[in-house]
A and B are shown apart, each in its own frame.
Chain A
Amino acid sequence: MKKKLLIANRSEIAIRIIRSAHKLGMLAVVFQSDKEPDALYLKYADEIIAAKDNGNEKSIFLDADRIVKLALENNIDLIHPGYGFLSENPDFAELCVSNGINFIGPSPQLIRDMGLKTVAKSMAIEAGLPLVPGSDGPVNDAKAAKEFANKIGYPIILKASAGGGGRGMRIVEKADTIERHFKSASDEAKAAFGNGDMFIEKYLQNPKHLEFQIMGDKHGNVIHLGERECSLQRKHQKILEEAPSASVTPAMRKEMGDMAVRFAKAIGYYSAGTIEFIMDEDGSYFFMEMNTRIQVEHPVTEMITGVDLVDWQIRVALGEEITLKQKDIKINGWAIECRVNTEDPQNRFSPQTGFIDKIHFPMKDYIRIETGVQSGSVVTPYFDSMIAKIIVHGKDRADVIEKTLDALYEFSLIGLKTTVPFCRTVLKHPEFVSASYTTRWVDSVFTPEMLENDEDEMMGALAATIMYASEYLQLSSDTPSYKNDLLNVWVLNKRLNY
């Protein structure tokens, strides 16, 4: 009998996981949430469980108890949590395991450990990973925070021990504001994560964000699949990623990769995982955290290594041994991922909801599209604004930048604004082209005017004029003195041809 794999997630990642489930001969099962009953991913599944989460406070994807209950009722063998939602919630993983369901990911204990930054850091220190100078453990109160900050020097960053996604995080430039920032960050953390513990770190002014992909099995084998650079972020969230990173030399790749593998082995990690580093302008790097899920940007790694990470996540969960050896992992060319979020880059990335009248993706053999929507889909305010990803492979960095730009010009979406013009602007910017960009790019370099260009401006004027002119000429023709030659033949001919 075929194994049943339940995906506790939605949108593009659900479709991505369904693909792997089918490749491995399993039945893919998904939830139908009342908050988006016509979602695209439902079409790809073998079985659909009605979540009936309409009246519920939480959508099904955040409701661990109901997920497990419904999984048991539907004889589910494995659960893949995707990313976001409950993917790094140790209680959910534990609940799956204790109910005899195979949770696709590392052990619940490791999810718990890595989720607590202070615990993760002490494990990293043990494994010999370099850390940004900072407090060894949580700092109790604002006064202690101030004393510590004075010791390591400003600017410093306050981080919630249980935090993520930028919540409970504050940058403090000088001593006289630290007490105020400490209190508000701690309160925010308490509200968001139920834990107000804070720790302090030296704040790097212009860092790059690098991360190493690792894959381990339950037999103690761990390999790394190179790095990704995810420095392009807005509101602490990634928006464009590339692999490999131009800031990592082959020697550094080996050093950092070995370090990541050593760490994963030391803690007994299995499944896919990501070890995040922050790199300073002088090339020194520090361990930040470990992500215990499959990440949004995993396709760039797949594109340059040819390794299917989701396949391996599932196979590892089933107890298979990783047959790939470190020496087999070769980096081939360069890949870039652009996230298509329904956000308005001309207006502080404010989210856009509504109908996608028409969406068109570029199609080339070197382009991979991961989408959770199609023409006619609705973007609701209930979920994340990311609707698709455009991943492009090239032979080197210059080649992939050019190909990605072409792909983004081919993309079109009628109805809502997206981050695609923003990605185009990034790809054309000298700091991106020279790979000197850092996580501060959006805040310190980007302005909405950079989204505009002379050609688009002129074509917009033409479009506006044609729309205006067809009405204007129509009006004029109603007066008898005017010759009746209405609409442009240039326009009409095309109307007949297309």
Chain B
Amino acid sequence: MGTKYNYRRDASRLFIAVRENGKRFKIYIPKDSKPVIDGEEKDIDFLEQEDFHYTFDWNGKKFHCELVSRDQNKAVIKVNGVEYRYSLESIFSYIRRGMINNPDKQLNEYNIFSPMPGKIVDLFLSEGDLVNEGEPILSLEAMKMQNEICANCNGVIRKIKVQTGQSVMKDELLVEITSIDE
């Protein structure tokens, strides 16, 4: 029920492909469903798969993709006869680079602070998990009410500063999150 979250937990399945013109694609390759590209699950099927050549079907259209060359994390792919160049990296190295280049924004903007004093009754996620914007991260009990505290960005949980059963003050740092969006 409720919101459909496109990113699953496993952040190691999220990659960033950047074209030489600067255009960026965030691609999540789930274990058991269709790929999620820039936060949207796409109805893409495989028609053919060989080592260096894939044919996809998307909305009834064919896409012949052939690996032309590969140099470490750089790849040239021929798509329907036209070459495109990409550099690829995991979300972890992408975030690492982001933090080096722009530490304040990356580190602090999306961290979760306790909105009221209370007790942590449940933690839904672990460090290193991928989380969707609006997805509950933990449950905080205050004045006999359980409140779900949700992520305010698509991101990676870098650090969880609290444990189940722990009491927290208002404005106490609960979870450090790094956004995977720009």
Contact = CB atoms under 8 A, between A and B. Distances in A.
Interface of A: 346, 358, 409-410, 412-414, 417-418, 420-421, 424, 451-452, 455-469, 472-473, 476, 482, 485, 488-491, 494-495, 498
A410 B55 CA distance: 11
A472 B90 contact: yes
Contact of A457 (B66, B79, B81): B79
B27 A461 contact: yes
Nearest to A466: B29
A466 B25 CA distance: 13
A421 B32 CA distance: 34
B32 A489 contact: yes
A460 B64 contact: no
Interface of B: 12-13, 15, 17, 19, 23, 25, 27, 29-35, 37, 44-49, 52-56, 58, 61-67, 70, 73, 75, 77-84, 86, 88, 90
Central interface residue in B29, B32, B37, by most chain A CB within 10 Å: B29
B75 A464 contact: yes
B175 to A, nearest CB: 22
A401 B86 CA distance: 32
B63 A456 contact: yes
Central interface residue in A455, A465, A498, by most chain B CB within 10 Å: A465
Contacts of A464: 17, 67, 75, 77, 86, 88
A456 B55 contact: no
A458 B37 contact: yes
17 contacts: A409-B80, A412-B81, A413-B81, A457-B19, A459-B44, A459-B58, A461-B17, A461-B25, A461-B27, A461-B37, A462-B37, A463-B77, A465-B15, A465-B88, A467-B70, A485-B31, A498-B49
Which secondary structure characterizes the binding site on chain B?
Answer: strand
Nearest to A457: B84
Given A459-B65, A498-B46, A473 B13 contact: yes
A305 to B, nearest CB: 31
Given A456-B82, A461-B17, 12 more contacts: A412-B55, A412-B64, A412-B80, A412-B81, A414-B53, A424-B80, A457-B79, A458-B25, A460-B65, A461-B27, A490-B33, A498-B47
A459 B78 contact: no
A258 B47 CA distance: 52
A434 B47 CA distance: 35
A410 B49 contact: no
Contacts of B77: 460, 463-464
Contacts of A358: 53
A490 B83 contact: no
A414 B19 CA distance: 22
B79 A463 contact: yes
